[in-house]
A and B are shown apart, each in its own frame.
Chain A
Amino acid sequence: MTSSNDHTDDGARLAQDGNDDPDMTFVTQAHYDRESHRDLTTEIIFAIAAAADVAPSEVKDPPLYECVDIAAIEDGFFSPKVNGQTRDCEGSVAFWYDQYHVEGASDGWITDSKPITRGEELDFE
């Protein structure tokens, strides 16, 4: 008889490294375009709303302002052109919003993930 300690019910393999980091499952992704009328805050909230399958106006608690300094991310990664040159730096920032792990990268991609809980079905409420 094999132990079920290292597999969830649906067969996803848990990390064997013994640390407390939860395994994450990809939920949704969105792309921020600095030329768009939708700013970074909007893209992030819309992505979280898509992940949670709710309308964006229902994503309220907490206001994103309290989670992360969006202005700093916008300035750091997506600052306007200087002398005709676009200042680009590479990297990403990540933070938690509710149960979602949100990662924003300098290429504009916003990725939402959430931890897999043992036995959890991968459908989204």
Chain B
Amino acid sequence: MAHPRRRYLVYTLAEETEWSLDELATKLAAWETDTPDTDIATLTRQEMYTPLYHAHVPKLVDLDVIEFDTDTETITPGPHAVQVLTVLEGTGGSIDNRQVAHARSDFDRVGTQ
């Protein structure tokens, strides 16, 4: 969990227990570019979707932190999600305060349909 993007993904699972990969890509892009979720350009979303799909999601699935449905491309917590969240909130939480707040903030999911 050393990678900030993976931590962000796990933080979002504390807010909602199901996310589509597109929604997460948009949300994470909004965090990293400090832009409102509704303003994310297609290219930026793709630039975030790509490493999530090809690297971070498979890694987190391997670690049993999340489950990924390849047909619907939705992410749900895995067996170790609660453990990891507990550790993150205990140690990394103070470092990632703003990241955590953003990950758990209200997200206009309609905008990504």
Contacts and interface: CB of A to CB of B under 8 A. Distances in A.
Interface of A: 37-39, 41-42, 45-46, 55-57, 59-60, 63-66, 70-71
A71 to B, nearest CB: 8
B49 interface: yes
Given A37-B32, A65-B59, A57 B54 contact: no
Given A63-B58, A65-B59, A70-B55, A37 B46 contact: no
B47 A66 contact: no
Interface of B: 32, 46-47, 49-51, 53-55, 57-59
A45 B52 CA distance: 12
A56 B50 contact: yes
18 contacts: A37-B32, A37-B47, A39-B51, A41-B50, A41-B51, A41-B55, A42-B51, A46-B47, A56-B49, A57-B50, A59-B50, A60-B53, A63-B53, A63-B57, A63-B58, A66-B58, A70-B55, A71-B55
Nearest to A39: B51
Given A41-B50, A59-B50, 11 more contacts: A38-B47, A39-B55, A42-B47, A45-B54, A57-B49, A63-B54, A64-B55, A65-B54, A66-B58, A71-B55, A71-B59
Nearest to A70: B55
A42 B50 contact: yes
Contacts of A37: 32, 47
